[in-house]
Amino acid sequence: MTKSELIEKMVETHNMTLNLKTSELLVNTVFDSIEEALCSGDKVEIRGFGSFTIRERNGRDARNPKSGEVVPIPPKKAPFFKTGKELKERVNV
């Protein structure tokens, strides 16, 4: 499901109360809020669904496959999602 499909699904589900513009605003607000929290180092937990955190990746040396030259890769942060127990159970039905 893409972001635009999610927006359309919200309108379809709540057709009497939500229009396309409002639905898009709600979806963007949720995604922006998750992004802001992660950027500031916070954990985002949605009970029954899962949690978003930031994981630190260590720097390492890699090799350029074409030239064989060693290339240093700096440490970085990466978003990580851990599925909640209820979501796992619903998916595995």
Q: Give tens-digit pLDDT for 61-75.
A: 999 999 999 999 999
Give pTM, 2 decimals. Answer: 0.78
Q: What is the pLDDT of residue 93?
A: 80
Total domains, the chain: 1
Residues in contact with 52: Cβ distance below 8 Å, sequence separation at least 6, in sequence order: 34, 37, 38, 43, 44, 45, 79, 80, 81
* Residue ranges making up the domain that contains 76: 3-91
**What is d(CA 84, CA 35) in angstroms, rounded to the nearest whole number?**
19
Of the chain, the percentage scoring pLDDT greater than 90 comes to 85
Give the domain CATH number at 9.
4.10.520.10
